[in-house]
Amino acid sequence: VGREGDGGRRASGRGRGPAEMAAAEAPDPPSSGSSPLLPAQNGRPAGCTSVQLFHTDTTRSNRIHTCKYTWYSFIPLNLFEQFSQLGNAYFLVVAFLQMIPAITNTGGRPLTLVPLFFVITLGAIKDAFEDLQRYFSDRLENTGKAIIVDEELQQREAFWKDIRPGMVFLVQEGERVPADALVLASDLDDGECFVETSNLDGESNLKKKGAAISPDEWQEVSRGGQEMTLEVEPPSVDLYTFNGALQMPGETEPRGTHIGNMLLRGTSLQRTGQVYCLAVYCGSETRAMQNSQSARFKASKLDRELNRVVLMIFGLQFAVCATMSLFSMVWQHLASSKASWYLDLHDNGQGWLATLAVRMGTWLLQTNNLVPVSLIVTLTAVKFVQGMFVAWDRACGDVDGGKPAKVNTSQVMESLGQITHVFSDKTGTLTQNEMRFARCFIGNKDFGEFRLDVAMRQMRGASKCCTPGTFSSSSGTSLGEVTPEDAVGLTSSKSAAANDGVSGIEEVGAPAAAEVKRILLDENDPLCSDTRRFFLCLAVCHDAQVEHKGGEPVFTGSSPDEVAFLEFAHDIGVSLLCRKAASGGTSGTLLQFNGPLGRQEIAVLCVAPFSSERKRMTVLCEYCGDYIVFTKGADSVMGPLCDPGVLQGPAGAQLEYYARQGLRTLVIAWKALDKSSATELRRSYDAARNAMDDRETKLEEWAARVEHSLTFLGISAIEDRLQQGVPEAICMLREMGTLVWVLTGDKTETAVEISRSCGLVDDDMALVGLLGAKSPEDAKKMLGDAEARGTSDCALVLDGASAKYILADSWSRKTLHDLSAASAACICCRLAPQQKRGLIELAREFDPGRITLAIGDGANDVSMIQGAHVGVAVRGKEGCQAVQACDVAVSQFRFLVLLLHCHGRRAYRRISVFLLYYIYKHVVLAAGSMCWANESSFDGNVSYPEWVSSAYSVFITALPVIVVLGIDQDVPDKTALAHPELYAEGLDHVHFNSGVFATWMFRGCWHGALAWMVPSLALGAADASIDEVGGTFWVCSITAFTLVVVLVNGMLWIVALNRFSWATLGVLALSFFAYFLTLLVLGHTPLGDLMQGKMAGAPLAMLETGGALASLCLTPLVLLLDFGALWVAVFLKPTPLDKLRWRRRRQSLARVRPTTP
């Protein structure tokens, strides 16, 4: 690599590859809510803090702490959190009321505490386990080993937590960086080092960093006695920018420092022996911790609707209690002392208010079954079963890696069946992050196909929505040309070129690589010179590194497409040998050509790196005594820099032809310079790069002086391989009615091309761009223009620079929401982690009905995974942070369809019916109590045996609903995947809405009233004494309760999809067995005499009483009405699932029906 400047000071991100913007060169902080770059005041950043070399700031610690509890605060805090939940607090109050003699219906025993204790204990164990995991993670991080260096360069070992700002520490190859630090020196000749940043930005490619001072200056300040001070901006979430002023001893003006001089906490040192660093930000101030937000508690939409239902039930319960209490007091006032001998109609000297309070408490206990204590426990069990189905599904596992799906949060399983928006990362999620050199065009010749297989062509054979589309505007411009002034109105159109080639262009047949080699060696070929320059540009214009293993070169770099360039160049004989600082003050990169050129040395003198605004990269080189400028970049910006009209002829047609194949293209150009011009450019480059103020602007101005009057060389085409099944998955998601967004940190062109390749953007879909805003006014103007134009059937394209201003303004946020809601697809690029989360929160803010899902594979996706309703991680090559933070982890993007359409859709139906049924079966129980209240003059006496009522929810009816509704199967996965319209049931809230809820509540009241009134009228319970042991009242009560069990289990059988499966029939039989066993124990054993003495002998008496037997036989016939109503609903208003199951049933009958001879 060529010389970057005097004194070893490096520009951030120099040599950045064109496929990916260097983090160090991002001109705009792409992070929503981060501090902007601090304005310079008198050469120093404003509002800064000071870090002095070897002067430790003891007030700022590097310790991190993410635990919620300590050993002494766990019990009180956890109990406070759990009883802050309305349900737990309610049942605690009920238990307290059960101990008050005046109102108790359990003999003063707090029976509710038994299930409540079980619930609280389970919750505490779960919370303790999760916090223990955080504690061990914190301890592992804080006790990491670091090497501290003192003023005498003596080394000592310390923990990460002991590092403070101002300390100097040593990082060796393969180690992680313990704090955000300034690079002081490295063991490489030019003071550079390389880091792998997957823990921060999700990219495993190496990033180049440079020392802020020269090796000689490091030797001087490290000897002690020299003051070196760094003024830095406040802590920020921005991973891509850093602004500081370095005051060196003996210098009057400070030097500018930038992100290219910084190593961030969590990154790992690679390809560098060791680096000396100055700790700048520690602990919670580091970029990694600033970007780390605690995961919000994720409640599904059904959970939120359930909360509203529970509040409504509370209100209904209060109204019922108040009404019954008033009726009771009125009855007490009107009735004479002889009217009902068993009633105590005297207030015993109490006032009416005290009497009302007692009556209210009595009826609260009578109706507490409306909100069953076991609801949360049973619901958690059902959701856990749904999560286990995902983990057990081999189809959701990686066949190659053998990794099954993983469910971290079963709480959101039903939300998977209601997803309206999918927010997807690109690299490693949609793509494999593996590049292949596909084709190239040099001069007027297309060299044909270099790939062994042509996956893209096979992909185009699928349905239209799975076909890679083209993207070029009708005027020949492309997305890259969008500016704040004309960022709207990009329209795609198909190329007029033929599908199999471009007219007027000579296409070279196979083997294409052999043809390129021949031309490189044949100096008489007219394309020889241009071909050599073309591949020389690919070999020089990058920041990749090479090492040799087993005699073969291994290329690594910050951009995977640059690695693909170098690998292909090596295959055809243009091989990068090494990269080092050359002697004599000139650095260079050694290149070897197979042929007459032999081994050559090239010095790269100046670099204008790639950025999202420039969309190109330029290098100034010295080669064999000549000075050459090489530039490669997007066609949208390269056209005006080259010969006029060069991209309007065959080259332009070839660009469009490559685009139709979903390939990523770059235009290659060059020009020669004389020595004096090159010397002047080097001088002005050094001045711009070391400027304190407006460094980026001055570097752009320098690049503009170089990048003009270029000579067109050719076009390269790279394939970024999609993961298997991604186009089909995107197609399926769209047919299911889900809107897909792509959120990526990659550049705009890459994101758009991948979106086309995977079928997210159709051939005839226009693109509306909101790109490159430099101020809030720019962003508002683009939004206004887009709003006036309309985005219906268009794809919205947004970049991080514009998102920064849009997310900060309420009007802009609302407008972006409206535009995105009308768009067919949304592509967001150059985003920081917090911006990804900000866009998801924007979608949730203005439309609470949206259910969002975020899917990604890297640590940079953790924020959006935690911010969405459901977070899904793709196990990839970027570490395990996303997997640890997600709700569900899968191995490939295509498994998302199975997760949503099969598991999520079923989970939504199962849990919806479960919630309705669970509330229904307790309404049945409460309705009987209301009927008895009317018969008993509202005295508040119990209607059902207390211990049987307590066992009803937990031991009698809990297991059947878990088994029957937890494992109900509608149609096989293969059948479901052929019918994407089935997913609409969740989007349309078919199974849980106000109408369905009202129907179930009416059914509960109807069944409960019948269950009590029929045996009551048959046996005369109204005139029976409640104090008679085993008397008529208790026979009636047990008969009514038996009918309740029969009706609710019968209703469960009716709503089950697999009514005749062994699991369904077996668990229902087990429920009846548990119930009758309970009756036997309570009615005919000494233990029952202690627990429920008044019902002694009643169970057998029920079987000997004609009225009771008649009630047991006739009342369940009411279920025929419910069964008939269900079939009428299926016939009159069938859902897509009803229609499909009916067709399958008819086909099954047709297969088994005997054929007529």
Element spanning 437, H or E: strand 431-442
Residue 746 annotated as binding? yes
In the chain, helix, strand, coil percent, each to 5?
45, 15, 35
DSSP of 873-893:
EE--SS-SHHHHH-SEEESST
675 is in an annotated binding site: no
d(CA 1154, CA 1157): 9
Q: Any known ligand binding at 857?
A: yes
Check: CB of residue 806 under 8 Å from CB of residue 778. no
Annotated binding-site residue? 426: yes
Give me the residue label for tokens 């189905």: 389
Tokens for 180?
A: 């955000």
The Cα 167–Cα 179 span in angstroms is 10
Whether residue 192 is annotated as binding a ligand: the answer is no
Find the radius of gyration of the CA atoms of the chain. 37
Let me know the angle formed at the C-alpha of 191 by 187 and 192, rounded to the nearest 5 degrees.
100
Q: Residues 177, 154: contact at Cβ < 8 Å?
A: no
Q: Which long-range contacts (CB under 8 A, 24 or more apart) does 571-574 make?
A: 571/513, 572/513, 572/516, 572/517, 572/520, 572/535, 573/517, 573/520, 573/521, 574/520, 574/535, 574/536, 574/538, 574/539
Among residues 717, 845, 758, 739, the alpha carbon closest in space to that of 796 is found at 739
Kindly name the residue from 180, 190, 238, 425 that is annotated as catalytic.
425
Tell me the residue type at 223.
R
The single-letter code of the amino acid at 350 is Q
Give the whole-angstrom CA distance, residue 862 versus residue 36.
23
What φ, ψ does residue 616 adopt, rounded to 5°? -160, 165
Tell me how many degrees the CA angle 12-15-20 measures, rounded to the nearest 5: 90
Is 610 marked within a binding site?
A: yes
Strands 155-159 and 145-149: antiparallel
Q: Is 106 annotated as a binding residue?
A: no
Contact 467, 763 (CB under 8 A): yes
CA dihedral 206, 208, 209, 214 (to 10 degrees): 140
SS3 1037: helix
694 in active site: no
The 3-state DSSP class for residue 11 equals coil
CB 546 within 8 A of CB 540: no
Q: Phi and psi of 144, rounded to 5°?
A: -60, 150
Residue 988 labeled ligand binder:
no
980: tokens are 């994407």
Q: Residues near 1147 by Cβ (< 8 Å), separated by ≥ 6?
A: none
Most distant CA atoms of the chain, gap in Å: 127
2 closest CA partner among 552, 688, 534, 686: 686
Kindly give, in sequence order, each residue whose CB lies less than 8 Å from that of residue 1015, ignoring residues fewer than 6 positions away. Answer: 1021, 1036, 1039, 1040, 1043, 1107, 1108, 1111, 1115
CA distances from 674 to 607, 622, 1055 (A): 18, 11, 85
Q: Is 745 marked as a binding-site residue?
A: yes
d(CA 10, CA 251): 19
Residue 84: strand, helix, or coil: coil
- Is 477 annotated as ligand-binding? no
Query: Three-state SS for 211?
Result: coil
562 annotated as belonging to a binding site for a ligand? yes
Say if residue 861 carries a ligand binding annotation: yes
What would the two tokens of residue 1100 be? Answer: 């057998």
Q: Is 176 annotated as a binding residue?
A: no
Count how many residues are written for the chain. Answer: 1157
Does the annotation list 446 as a binding residue?
Answer: no
Contact 695, 619 (CB under 8 A): no
- Binding-site residues for ATP, in ranges, read 425-427, 562, 610, 632, 664, 744-746, 830, 836, 860-861
Catalytic (active-site) positions:
425
- Binding-site residues for Mg(2+), in ranges, read 425, 427, 857, 861
- Binding-site residues, in ranges, read 425-427, 562, 610, 632, 664, 744-746, 830, 836, 857, 860-861
